[in-house]
Amino acid sequence: MKQETGPRRVLIEKHKKFSESALWRLQREYFDQAGIDAWVNQVPFYITSNPFIATCYAKLVIAFIRDWIKKNPDAKNHPFYILELGTGSGRFSFFMLKILQELLQGLGLEEIQLVYIMSDFTKNNIKYWEDHPALKPYLEKGLVDFAIYDMESDRSITLFKKNIQLNTETLVNPLTVFANYIFDTVSHDSFAIREGKLYELLISLSTDDTNMKNNRPINMEKINTDYHINEIHGSYYHDPHLDAILETYKNTLKETSFLFPVGTFRAIKYLKKLAHDKLFIISTDKGYSTLETLDHLGHPSISFHGSFSMMVNFHAIAEYFKTSGGGACLQTTRKGIKTSVFSSGFDLKDMPETYMTIQERVEGYSPGDYFILHRRISDSFQECNLDTLASHMQMALWDPHIYLKLTNRINAILGESDKETIDFMAANMKNLAANYYYMPKSECILFEIGVFFHAIKNYQQALDYYKQAMPYVGEQFGLYYNMALCLHHSDAQEEALIYFKKALELDKESKETEEWITFIEKKLSEQKT
């Protein structure tokens, strides 16, 4: 009898320091190869890439710049640089640029020189941003630039377009840094506390041989992790700030395992060096902000979703800034993602407008709170009437990503909804369109706005949006057919005929298109006779 043989277990690495694990290399390879496709149904992005979070950040930055200029009047003669780390798709950056520009104009602050730098470690993302139509106007104005920056290395950061290097000469004002969903992506060490002793956690990785090709794992989600503990005596990092944090944990935490964001610390130290020690950092991620929440944790759990992510130890990052001439504001612990603000070279409490904005936008109704509320509505929108959905869109600041989830429901209830709400929605369609940031394989909001106007019989507006949708949706039966209908209702029968004929070329089986063609041809010939 033939014996069944199952997959064989392969050890990929044994007892590695967490920050030196092959996991980080695999993660980098994933982002490098996937480029923009990482965000097509794999790596979650909405939570940190929406107009609400961008508005919070923009208001914080403007408050900070105003505070800084008040204290240092000469600062207005030098550019304020904002560096976005691990930018990814660029959707957040687009909203930031749009809102920053509106705020600068609206508040009469146009004389402030602002340069927003979208950075990532992989060129593949930069290629996507360079050709993106929504970023073009900001590139032309010089408000945005791009740079390669790998947080795991201290290589120089040079702006692609302006060809300026970030260094102590160019960075006169503090460097503002945005770090969304990235502190969890760069390397960490891991430790355990048992009965007042500190241990490093060493990781082993294994997988089935069926998940191996050319000596490397194919699918990260099929990797198993095991931990081994090794007691630490004396200084671990030979860095007084980092070692002091570990010492505090050893003396305070009872029994736990925790991550230590060494990749983040490396980047912070490098950026501090470039910017005369002066940094203003805003970060949103999953994480722990207090000693209490760091205690009684199991070994680090890694969640895989194309790439992988972990919980950021915001508490350790805050301790680092507080003990090295800066400060930190961490929001009171609550469920969901956390927004944190850090400063180096100055105290946030000495910046009144910034501090008030932090109270309002971080400690108050924060990006995490917005996301929780938005999710609740998104889960139950089938029960909502149009005025609730309109308020939801208002809360989401007319984000196309949200509208696309609601569009079927909205179109279905338009006929039974009141005129006041429909008019309100119609008046805001231009805001929805202005927030369009194209991402591959996602629906086109311009087409959906066309459908909205079509449904309320505003055929001219519908046609206008269908035309704008053309470059994005391409040669598509639905688009030509809808345009033909709008043209017919606008009494442009000859043009309608052209569009019905184009639609029929794209779907030769469409009986109703044939019927429309026959109907209009007959109508036109009757008009001639």
Enumerate binding residues for ligand SAM (CB under 6 A): 28, 31, 43, 45, 48-49, 85-88, 92, 120-122, 125, 149-152, 180-182, 185-186, 307
Q: In angstroms, what is the minimal distance from the CB of 251 to ligand SAM?
A: 32
Q: In angstroms, what is the minimal distance from the CB of 178 to ligand SAM?
A: 8
Give, for 258, the enclosing helix (H) or strand (E).
strand 255-260
**Cβ proximity to ligand SAM, 122 vs 482, nearer residue:** 122
How does 400-411 read in b/e, with b if 16+ C-beta sit within 10 Å? bbbbeebbebbe
**Cβ proximity to ligand SAM, 183 vs 480, nearer residue:** 183
In angstroms, rounded to a whole number, what is the distance separating the alpha carbons of residues 143 and 166?
Answer: 16
Q: In angstroms, what is the minimal distance from the CB of 125 to ligand SAM?
A: 6
Chain length of the chain:
529
Q: Any alpha helices (H) in 42-111, and if so which ranges? A: 51-71, 91-106
Q: In angstroms, what is the minimal distance from the CB of 402 to ligand SAM?
A: 16
Q: In angstroms, what is the minimal distance from the CB of 179 to ligand SAM?
A: 8
Whose tokens are 């208002």? That residue is 394
**Cβ proximity to ligand SAM, 342 vs 452, nearer residue:** 342
**Cβ proximity to ligand SAM, 19 vs 125, nearer residue:** 125
**Cβ proximity to ligand SAM, 129 vs 500, nearer residue:** 129
Q: In angstroms, what is the minimal distance from the CB of 175 to ligand SAM?
A: 16
In angstroms, rounded to a whole number, what is the distance separating the alpha carbons of residues 323 and 243?
Answer: 12
**Cβ proximity to ligand SAM, 272 vs 488, nearer residue:** 272
User: What are phi and psi for residue 22, nearest 5 degrees?
Assistant: -65, -15
**Cβ proximity to ligand SAM, 9 vs 273, nearer residue:** 273
**Cβ proximity to ligand SAM, 39 vs 480, nearer residue:** 39
**Cβ proximity to ligand SAM, 30 vs 477, nearer residue:** 30
Indicate the DSSP class of residue 158.
B
Q: In angstroms, what is the minimal distance from the CB of 25 to ligand SAM?
A: 11
In angstroms, rounded to a whole number, what is the distance separating the alpha carbons of residues 316 and 262?
Answer: 10
Contact 288, 313 (CB under 8 A): yes
Q: In angstroms, what is the minimal distance from the CB of 128 to ligand SAM?
A: 10
Q: CA 348, 353, 358, 364 torsion: positive or negative? A: positive
In angstroms, rounded to a whole number, what is the distance separating the alpha carbons of residues 401 and 94?
Answer: 14
Q: Minimal CA–CA distance to 56: which of 283, 290, 214, 394?
A: 283
Q: In angstroms, what is the minimal distance from the CB of 308 to ligand SAM?
A: 9
**Cβ proximity to ligand SAM, 185 vs 421, nearer residue:** 185
Q: CA 66, 75, 52, 301 torsion: positive or negative? A: negative
Q: List CB contacts of 78: < 8 A, sequence separation 6 or more.
A: 113, 172, 173
CA angle 376, 432, 382 (to 5 degrees): 30
Q: In angstroms, what is the minimal distance from the CB of 90 to ligand SAM?
A: 9
**Cβ proximity to ligand SAM, 67 vs 184, nearer residue:** 184
Q: Minimal CA–CA distance to 203: which of 18, 12, 11?
A: 18
Give one DSSP letter per residue of 190-241, joined into a string. EEEEETTEEEEEEEEEEEEGGGEETTEES-GGG-EEEEEEEE--S-SSS-HH
Q: CA 207, 208, 210, 215 torsion: positive or negative? A: positive
Q: In angstroms, what is the minimal distance from the CB of 143 to ligand SAM?
A: 19
Whose tokens are 């798709």? That residue is 89
**Cβ proximity to ligand SAM, 42 vs 72, nearer residue:** 42
Q: In angstroms, what is the minimal distance from the CB of 337 to ligand SAM?
A: 10
Strand, helix or coil for residue 277: coil
Contact 389, 359 (CB under 8 A): no
